[in-house]
Structure 1
């Protein structure tokens, strides 16, 4: 994108991209026959034409950023955001009687993932393929079938398994180039991005049969499955030449909505607009319906059994000289949309907002008809101040009824977990305060107790009602400056039975500075089962072969794979061993991790067998002594290239 602004505006624009710009919600509903619904929420208006919509967007966007759609200054980007154990199944045909499922946030609300299992079969992504493995019993484990895709046009991202149905989600790309005749130096190149939903009949796991193939304009964002219904959320950018999304099924392409049908809230303005489409799919009947929202980019989503909450962060800027203040002074708030779901019915219910920005889906929760949300206001800086943290309770209309503000000034939220009448927050700048918050009176949230320890937890997982497991990083306070140096991965077991006096009852530090884990940012990589006393986390290990010279020194990479622990309230964490999918020592020590087909991204169990999954391999080990039971090679065909090394 070409810049033609003066130097001061360029400085502002270069930092604007780190802020998420979101806003207004417009709703238009289409039933299964493609006809618009007559139900219109109170306060919603409609556009008369595409030109009216375009004019509205440009006028309101330029109130915040005059650059929208290439009018002279670089256009602002949207960007930053700031289980649990398995259910037993009937013993049928060699199927495990006890097996783990995807680590989810809300009971009864499944989350799509790169790997699924049903106690007998494992379904996983391997490069450009979806692979079905007959995994149980482990001694006879083998690949049954594979579904191949052309990576240049289609990319599978996640999946669900529902009985004998496999549901795949992914992206399709068709490059159209810039629209000629326009000021293309200031406009984005136009890609026609669309997403697909494919449903397969897997009664015969060795021969999956495609029964439904639908493409819809927009980028796949996320999805949930409740019972037999899957809810899919997609985003698509709105260009100046308004093009409404199309849906393609059975080779027939039809518009999801027309401009004249789009509804909007006139009193809310924003600086970046997107179409958000929600699809409802009955997995058994394969019937689908769609709703389209014109909004800012949906950044975070929380789903209960009855509602989808879509949130985005809006920033307001005050013009001010750049000298002495690197950033313009800003104020942010999180916009919240509640969409009711019940079977194939998807209805807009309410909208609201709270101050600050949120970290991720665990910063939100629904409980007893109220919506709870934790936010950070402002941003942490080494010069001190500038941020604080908050908890808000909103009713069903998304009106704020309870407020707790100004927690841990100068820090920001690193993890949050709402559990019944309690909320637990971890904030961090130099040390890790764990806050225990009482929400039993939703109109009067208050802090019950807090614990300050080195490091932080980036994910909190309930062990039981009065204990939490945290995974994050250790940290050492810098000798100079108001910050801390991250160190190795840290596991903590917290006792919150006495909420006025939380305790870290057990702690394990893994590796040195440079050690990493998928589970730090992806809760689905975290495997825990209380009854088995089992904890498995993927690890990229960095260690020192000599005493470090400073707190900011990085260790040398020595291992990657899965670490296995037993955990209980008596002994805390007990190391059982580790499993790797790498056989080449140079690769093991390369640090090649996040793009590596050898890195263990998921783990699961069936009865007393632990399975670890990478794109190259499914490995089965005994949970009793971690002895290897099986090693199944997957049909991965991607490159093993890293730092000049080619694997085999």
Structure 2
């Protein structure tokens, strides 16, 4: 983005603000559009009021170039008649013109819209500190203009802005990764008979080669200000990733600390690499470690200082002992974003002992969701709309703009080692639940979203599945599934997609995505309860882990309502895609029972040879009235097969013994195996068991 354009953007925003406040009591048709789009993608503008179906054909909607000349472009109207889509434009500056008569009649005031936008073929790096400062001045201006004003101001500001993998041993546990070949890391990792786990500010290295005689091999002492959230192993390297607060620098860093564990009893520090901000997640694929995080610069200081340094800090112990600002040519502005947050991506080549140069890039435009394949990285961020709240007894000028997520913006990079190439961005209706609602298959990106709210009768929720091509252009979609419900879990398995929605019952949808241009729902199964997590057993069977539910009656409101009861695990048979079945189910504990695996699939234990699946669990049961009574905690292991269904093999539970609540120090965090033994890892101890009959073998206290 050019400096001149940013300055004009600030001026345009400040001019629009008083006009918006002056007319905020008059409801007007809103427009929302972005100011930049890649030439490989379509640009679109969305309106709060429908347009006439023939508005494009009769010439009431058209595009001009920078010389105000009409240009030939492909202009289409969405099915709901509220979005204008423009495609097949070359690189340059354009304006979309929507005449007042293009709109259908409604109670809203209509006006002609002229929305400027740019088509680019690549994102450009920021040219200077001055240009970077001007960007953040625009962000400040936008934030001030949306404070204490009505929701139509969002439209005005938006329109104004537009105008201007590791070596895996078959003899030990591995992380429950979403994508084969893409390592995600976890809080416990296992290699060659040694278990690595974090307790407070220490990495404990447990020698588990003899499960009958567990021993603490060594401790890796961390810094007082360091908090580790992920461990990963690549060949003979142990990688510890987490946040570290640097008091001298006055900021937090996401730091990857790499150790050589060729001799597990004497780990050697190899290198530290960091980026300012907080970790979103990490991945390892094709010999490269990727750190993905967000950094929120203190651009409010612009009100006090003339030339603050708003570049993120980076650190690499192999290059320098100093914390340096990221070079300006490593910073770029993502299309369609003005939120003032950095997405930071650091790529580290792990080959030859991780001694090659690290590459960090900063992209202005924050993110909250992440999906990564071996060749592509996708980041997502919610896009917000506004609604107005007027506090009781307050003046109109005190009306507060309250944002809520309505859509999702997607950013894509291709990755090749430490090289990252930005592909483009797209927007889809609704918000995404988690990484399992996203997937890449044969170059196409699939994403499942929920639009609206289950509690809002005016904007009833509905669920969608979109398929985008390699350039993020929409190929096909399944829309408006399960009105009034929202997605609780999703899983993509090749040319099939599975989606669980819920409000009162649990519909499991089977969706055929083999033809990306024409995805279709094949079958649906409705049962009580819902699954938080879906895990593939084989090509035609799914394991679902979640809650059972029941209907109750509220005498006051005279309405039925749904409550969760016990945990529930189901085996779904989808071999007949049109008629999915709940082949087997088990209830786990009573009301209040739960497991980390319900919201963190890393907690799932798997052993392919034995068909074992397990997880840590905390058991409660229903007491008097609405009370729940603590029963115990530990882990459960099940044998699950398509032929036999679900069989409990081990109930490794420490009973409550009168305690009212679970003891955090004793909570089992992970279940892993190495050789012929199974291990439970808690903050204060590691226990070993026979893998065949689960006989207790040894306990190692951790202090």
Mapped pair 1:103 → 2:176:
yes
Instruction: Give runs of aligned pairs for residues 107-506 of structure 1, distance below 5 A.
Output: 107-151=180-224, 153-175=225-247, 191-240=250-299, 241-250=308-317, 251-253=320-322, 255-259=324-328, 262-265=331-334, 268-286=336-354, 287-317=356-386, 332-381=406-455, 386-480=460-554, 481=559, 483-506=561-584
> Alpha-carbon deviation of 1:318?
5.3
More helix by percentage: 2
- In structure 2, the residue matched to 1:612 is 680
Contact 1:423 1:439 in 2 (8 A): yes
Q: Deviation string for 1:235-267 (max 9, x for gaps)? A: 1102214421222333532535344763325x6
Q: Deviation string for 1:106-149 (max 9, x for gaps)? A: 01111111111124111111221111111123123211111012
Structure 1: give runs of 5+ residues left out of the alignment.
1-8, 10-21, 27-39, 77-83, 90-96, 177-189, 636-648
Over the aligned positions, Cα root-mean-square deviation in angstroms equals 3.3
* Structure index of larger Rg: 2
- In structure 1, the residue matched to 2:657 is 585
Distance change in 2, residues 1:57/1:318 (3 Å): farther
Structure 2: give runs of 5+ residues left out of the alignment.
1-20, 22-33, 39-118, 155-164, 300-307, 393-398
CA distance in 2, matches of 1:87, 1:45: 38
Residue correspondences, number = 557
Q: Deviation string for 1:434-457 (max 9, x for gaps)? A: 000000100111100010111100
Q: Secondary structure at the match of 1:110?
A: coil
Contact 2:689 2:695 in 1 (8 A): yes
Residues 386-395 or 48-57, more deviating: 48-57
> Alpha-carbon deviation of 1:326?
12
CA distance in 1, matches of 2:439, 2:620: 36
CA distance in 2, matches of 1:368, 1:627: 46
- In structure 1, the residue matched to 2:84 is none
Q: Deviation string for 1:67-90 (max 9, x for gaps)? A: 68x99xxxx9xxxxxxx9x9974x
TM-score (norm 2): 0.73
CA distance in 2, matches of 1:331, 1:601: 33
> Alpha-carbon deviation of 1:331?
6.6
- In structure 2, the residue matched to 1:187 is none
Contact 1:412 1:429 in 2 (8 A): yes
- In structure 1, the residue matched to 2:698 is 630
The partner residue of 1:524 within 592, 599, 602 is 602
Contact 1:493 1:506 in 2 (8 A): yes
- In structure 2, the residue matched to 1:94 is none
CA distance in 2, matches of 1:202, 1:260: 36
CA distance in 1, matches of 2:124, 2:616: 50
CA distance in 1, matches of 2:695, 2:361: 52
Distance change in 2, residues 1:279/1:138 (3 Å): same
Q: RCO higher in 1 or 2 (8 Å CA, sep ≥ 6)?
A: 1
Contact 2:37 2:120 in 1 (8 A): no
CA distance in 2, matches of 1:326, 1:488: 41
Q: Secondary structure at the match of 1:293?
A: strand
CA distance in 2, matches of 1:237, 1:61: 13
Distance change in 2, residues 1:354/1:544 (3 Å): closer
Instruction: Give runs of aligned pairs for residues 542-557 of structure 1, distance below 5 A.
Output: 542-544=620-622, 549=625, 553-557=626-630
CA distance in 1, matches of 2:126, 2:183: 36
- In structure 1, the residue matched to 2:138 is 59
Contact 2:337 2:365 in 1 (8 A): no
TM-score (norm 1): 0.79
Residues 596-605 or 360-369, more deviating: 596-605
CA distance in 2, matches of 1:41, 1:616: 56
Distance change in 2, residues 1:191/1:335 (3 Å): farther
Distance change in 2, residues 1:404/1:131 (3 Å): same
Instruction: Give runs of aligned pairs for residues 32-71 of structure 1, distance below 5 A.
Output: 42-60=121-139, 62-63=141-142, 66=145
CA distance in 2, matches of 1:343, 1:482: 55
> Alpha-carbon deviation of 1:402?
0.8
Contact 1:291 1:346 in 2 (8 A): no
CA distance in 1, matches of 2:621, 2:233: 39
Q: Secondary structure at the match of 2:436?
A: helix
> Alpha-carbon deviation of 1:214?
2.8
